[in-house]
């Protein structure tokens, strides 16, 4: 949070709130500040997120409730007093950035400038103005394009922003203001996808990491499919990036949504939060998403939490949770009005910004190995379901809240000796024939059946004694394929080895043997003779190779003479004029074949 410069006497105003030292400004500080003027905004229609994603589409997962001006002003005007009752109505509770700092025990002296990427759809001309007003109203440091604190680009990284999508303007406003609330000094990179199509969303996520985001908030979800798993391998697989995705807002009935279901992505569940007698009470939000992946096996880190039985060895969602109940939501500003934010679309940017504060973009699932800094949420449910742990909060892991919610930044810090998740792979090698020998390799992710793109693989050749030696390296294409060409000069065998990477395990292909070669044969017809020159596929003379002169007899061929090529690979055979002949070659290492039939002259 923004630090105040306090005179010596003001240090007496330091209060300890849930373990965090909070600076309370003096009267002089308070008198020097007044509320900012509201910005002039462009009229933009907001229609809200579709309740469920269409096939091949992602839906945003933001929920918003209107907040009266009086309630909003009460929250905002008391922002500097971080020990106060919340502003409430009969139905809702509204929280400010200071409340969230208290809830998640954020030290007030952290000022990281890490880049947090946010992926949404379409552009809203009011995004920057609304965020600036939110930050100014809550006395957070300014974040502008001029200081490179805020940047907005299209999914290709250009400044040619897509048109406004009315379904996503609430989501966009919420995301940038939630990151602002949690990490006011972080840089924000907003990437506007051209559409909610899952490929456009994935390309936007890749652009965020390409442009420097080490933390990426993904407040959207789509139904799992083979297509989404291949997108994960290509677009959501940077091992030096922490990805946090909303788990969904339909309880366990919605199943596991992608990209939250990807094993390397942190699936953000949801909580309902209230302050009672000065302390925080958290329960599972009644709509928090949970479910079993149909595409991914359970990762080793989830095995540490003994959740294997929940989904029969499949990946389970969620992992960890944050504020998501719109009735106990974060106050945010959009379209000239104040709203309470909710949905796991709020939990995702909150957690992403907390990871940025913790400085952990390499091992985001470390809390599976050490849950001591998490607050275990044990009450609340999303209804009934076949497996109680998927829909009912309880001790340890549960679907709505995962392993709990951060009780300080240590909860999300990188841990040591954490099992890494790697999918098992399988490689298939085939020989396409011809010379040079054409060998085609396909690398498959066994968990999903999809091809593994961008994998560096090595073609190896067997040598005397049975050992394999490297021939050359290649890289698989988008379908997981790569072709090799080689010029062996004797019978041999090949295989392709994949050494593995941060997301995929090592594997070796089947062995393909090449035991015979097709020689190159040239026939010349001379007066009373036939001349044949035979060469190896690699161009040298095929010396001492057996050749049989055959003569046509009716509908069959009979061998009339056996010959052998000289050191130049040449053999000359005398023939009778008017008879039809051919020369048969090959045997042993060489494929059998014969020349065209010719009539002697």
The CATH number linked to 477 is 2.60.40.10
Q: Are residues 26 and 121 in the same domain?
A: yes
Segment 9-31 mean pLDDT: 33
Residue in the structure block whose two tokens are 């969620």:
318
Give the pLDDT confidence score for residue 23 in this predicted structure. 33
Q: Are residues 193 and 292 in the same domain?
A: yes
**Residue closest to 412 by CA, chosen among 355, 368, 361:** 355
Give the pLDDT confidence score for residue 299 in this predicted structure. 79
Give the pLDDT confidence score for residue 303 in this predicted structure. 78
Domain at 560, CATH number: 2.60.40.1120
Helix (H, G, I), strand (E, B) or coil at 177: helix
Between 234 and 138, where is the model more confident?
138
Which tens digit of pLDDT belongs to each residue from 172-225? 999 999 999 999 999 999 999 999 999 999 999 999 999 999 999 999 999 999
Give the pLDDT confidence score for residue 88 in this predicted structure. 53
Pick from 95-99, 440-444, 452-456, 548-552: least confident: 452-456
Domain at 79, CATH number: 3.40.50.200
| Residue 51 lies inside a defined structural domain of this protein | no
| Residue 291 lies inside a defined structural domain of this protein | yes
DSSP string, 341-384: EESHHHHHHHHHHHHHHHT-SS-TTGGGT--TTEE---S-BSS-
pLDDT at 27 over 50: no
Q: Are residues 250 and 103 in the same domain?
A: yes
Segment 348-376 mean pLDDT: 94
Pick from 62-71, 97-106, 303-312, 544-553: least confident: 303-312
pLDDT at 471 over 70: yes
Q: How many other C-beta atoms are found inside a 10 Å radius of the C-beta of residue 255?
A: 18
Q: How many other C-beta atoms are found inside a 10 Å radius of the C-beta of residue 523?
A: 16
Q: Are residues 382 and 429 in the same domain?
A: no
**Residue closest to 280 by CA, chosen among 416, 127, 414, 407:** 407
pLDDT at 83 over 70: no
| Residue 239 lies inside a defined structural domain of this protein | yes
Among 514, 545, 579, the domain-final residue is: 514
DSSP string, 284-326: E-TT---EEEEEEEPPHHHHTTT-TTTTTTEEEE-SEEEE--T
**H-run or E-run covering 203:** helix 198-210
Segment 320-336 mean pLDDT: 96
- Contact call for residues 153 and 120 (beta carbons, < 8 A): no
pLDDT at 256 over 80: yes
pLDDT at 428 over 80: yes
What distance in Å separates the CA atoms of residue 558 and residue 548, rounded to the nearest whole number? 10
What range defines the domain where residue 559 resides? 520-599
Ranges 23-27, 28-32, 352-356, 487-491, most confident: 352-356
| Residue 151 lies inside a defined structural domain of this protein | yes
Q: Which two tokens stand for residue 93?
A: 């509770």
Give the pLDDT confidence score for residue 79 in this predicted structure. 59
Q: Are residues 184 and 270 in the same domain?
A: yes
| Residue 3 lies inside a defined structural domain of this protein | no
Q: Which two tokens stand for residue 575?
A: 């023939």
At residue 18 the predicted structure's pLDDT band, cuts being 50, 70 and 90, is very low
Give the pLDDT confidence score for residue 80 in this predicted structure. 47
- Contact call for residues 583 and 598 (beta carbons, < 8 A): no
Residue 380, CA distances (Å) to 287, 337, 432, 459, 544 in order:
10, 31, 60, 55, 86
On average, the pLDDT of the chain sits at 88
Among 514, 533, 559, the domain-final residue is: 514
Q: How many other C-beta atoms are found inside a 10 Å radius of the C-beta of residue 3?
A: 11
pLDDT at 419 over 60: no
Give the pLDDT confidence score for residue 237 in this predicted structure. 87
Segment 487-497 mean pLDDT: 93
Between 254 and 78, where is the model more confident?
254
Q: Are residues 455 and 540 in the same domain?
A: no
CA triplet 338, 347, 159: central angle to 5 degrees?
A: 75
Structurally, how many domains does the chain consist of?
Answer: 3
pLDDT at 29 over 90: no
Q: Which two tokens stand for residue 518?
A: 């097709």
Helix (H, G, I), strand (E, B) or coil at 520: strand
Q: Are residues 362 and 479 in the same domain?
A: no
Q: How far apart are the first and last CA of the chain?
A: 101
Among 496, 514, 532, the domain-final residue is: 514
Give the pLDDT confidence score for residue 446 in this predicted structure. 79
At residue 447 the predicted structure's pLDDT band, cuts being 50, 70 and 90, is low
What distance in Å separates the CA atoms of residue 205 and residue 215, rounded to the nearest whole number? 10
- pTM, whole model, 2 decimals? 0.71
What distance in Å separates the CA atoms of residue 372 and residue 367, rounded to the nearest whole number? 8
Q: Are residues 154 and 251 in the same domain?
A: yes
Question: Long-range contacts for 33-38 (Cβ within 8 Å, ≥24 apart)?
Answer: 33/139, 35/76, 35/77, 35/137, 36/133, 36/136, 36/137, 38/133, 38/336
Identify any residues that bridge with 405 across adjacent strands, giving them in sequence order: 375
**Residue closest to 172 by CA, chosen among 214, 215, 118:** 118
Residue in the structure block whose two tokens are 């065998």:
493
Give the pLDDT confidence score for residue 13 in this predicted structure. 29
| Residue 418 lies inside a defined structural domain of this protein | no
Pairing of strands 187-193, 220-223: unpaired
Between 51 and 476, where is the model more confident?
476
Q: Are residues 125 and 195 in the same domain?
A: yes
Q: How many residues does the chain have?
A: 601
| Residue 50 lies inside a defined structural domain of this protein | no
pLDDT at 4 over 70: no
Q: Are residues 389 and 508 in the same domain?
A: no
At residue 521 the predicted structure's pLDDT band, cuts being 50, 70 and 90, is very high
Give the pLDDT confidence score for residue 334 in this predicted structure. 96
Q: Are residues 508 and 553 in the same domain?
A: no
Pick from 272-286, 418-432, 493-507, 581-595: least confident: 418-432
What distance in Å separates the CA atoms of residue 3 and residue 5, rounded to the nearest whole number? 7
Which tens digit of pLDDT belongs to each residue from 391-412? 999 999 999 999 999 999 999 9
Ranges 295-309, 450-464, 538-552, most confident: 538-552
**Residue closest to 595 by CA, chosen among 585, 587, 274, 586:** 585
pLDDT at 417 over 90: no
Q: Are residues 576 and 503 in the same domain?
A: no
């Amino acid at each position: 949070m923004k630090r105040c410069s306090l005179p010596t006497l003001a240090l007496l105003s330091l209060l300890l709130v849930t373990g965090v030292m909070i600076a309370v400004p003096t009267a002089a500080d308070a008198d020097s500040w007044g509320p900012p003027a509201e910005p002039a905004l462009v009229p933009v229609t907001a229609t809200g997120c579709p309740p469920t994603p269409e096939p091949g589409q992602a839906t945003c997962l933001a929920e918003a409730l209107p907040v009266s001006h009086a309630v909003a002003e009460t929250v905002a005007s008391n922002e500097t007093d971080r020990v106060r009752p919340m502003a409430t109505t009969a139905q809702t509770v509204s929280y400010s950035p200071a409340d969230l700092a208290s809830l998640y025990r954020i030290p007030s002296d952290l000022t990281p400038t890490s880049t947090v990427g946010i992926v949404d759809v379409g552009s809203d001309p009011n995004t920057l103005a609304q965020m600036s007003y939110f930050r100014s109203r809550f006395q957070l440091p300014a974040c502008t394009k001029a200081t490179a604190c805020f940047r907005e680009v299209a999914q290709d990284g250009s400044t040619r922003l897509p048109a406004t999508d009315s379904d996503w303007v609430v989501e966009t406003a919420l995301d940038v203001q939630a990151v602002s609330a949690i990490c006011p000094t972080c840089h924000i990179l907003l990437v506007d996808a051209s559409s909610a199509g899952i490929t456009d969303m994935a390309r936007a996520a890749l652009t965020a990491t390409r442009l420097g985001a080490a933390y990426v908030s993904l407040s959207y979800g789509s139904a799992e499919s083979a297509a989404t798993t291949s997108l994960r391998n290509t677009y959501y697989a940077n091992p030096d990036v922490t990805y946090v995705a909303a788990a969904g807002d339909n309880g366990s009935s919605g199943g596991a949504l992608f990209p939250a279901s990807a094993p390397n992505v942190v699936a953000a569940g949801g909580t309902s939060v209230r302050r009672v007698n000065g302390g925080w009470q958290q329960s599972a939000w009644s709509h928090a998403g949970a479910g079993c992946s149909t595409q991914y096996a359970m990762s080793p880190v989830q095995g540490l939490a003994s959740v294997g039985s929940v989904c029969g060895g499949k990946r389970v969602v969620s992992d960890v949770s944050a504020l998501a109940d719109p009735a106990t939501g974060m106050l945010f500003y959009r379209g000239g009005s104040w709203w309470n934010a909710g949905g796991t679309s709020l939990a995702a940017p909150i957690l992403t910004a907390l990871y940025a504060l913790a400085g952990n973009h390499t091992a985001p699932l470390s809390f599976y190995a050490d849950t001591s800094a998490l607050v275990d949420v044990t009450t609340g449910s999303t209804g009934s379901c076949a497996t109680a742990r998927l829909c009912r909060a309880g001790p340890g892991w549960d679907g709505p809240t995962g392993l709990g919610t951060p009780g300080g930044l240590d909860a999300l810090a990188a841990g040591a000796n954490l099992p890494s998740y790697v999918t098992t792979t399988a490689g298939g090698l085939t020989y396409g024939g011809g010379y040079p020998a054409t060998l085609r390799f396909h690398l498959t992710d066994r968990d999903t059946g999809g091809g593994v793109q961008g994998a560096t693989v090595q073609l190896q050749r067997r040598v005397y004694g049975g050992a394999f030696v490297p021939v050359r390296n290649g890289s698989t294409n988008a379908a997981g394929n790569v072709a090799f060409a080689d010029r062996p000069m004797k019978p041999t065998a090949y295989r392709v080895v994949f050494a593995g990477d941060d997301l995929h395990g090592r594997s070796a292909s089947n062995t393909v043997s090449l035991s015979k070669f097709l020689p190159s044969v040239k026939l010349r017809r001379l007066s009373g003779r036939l001349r044949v020159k035979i060469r190896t596929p690699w161009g040298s003379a095929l010396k001492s190779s057996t050749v049989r002169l055959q003569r046509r007899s009716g509908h069959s061929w009979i061998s009339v003479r056996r010959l052998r090529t000289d050191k130049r690979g040449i053999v000359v055979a005398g023939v009778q004029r008017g008879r039809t002949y051919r020369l048969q070659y090959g045997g042993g290492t060489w494929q059998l074949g014969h020349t065209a039939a010719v009539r002697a002259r």
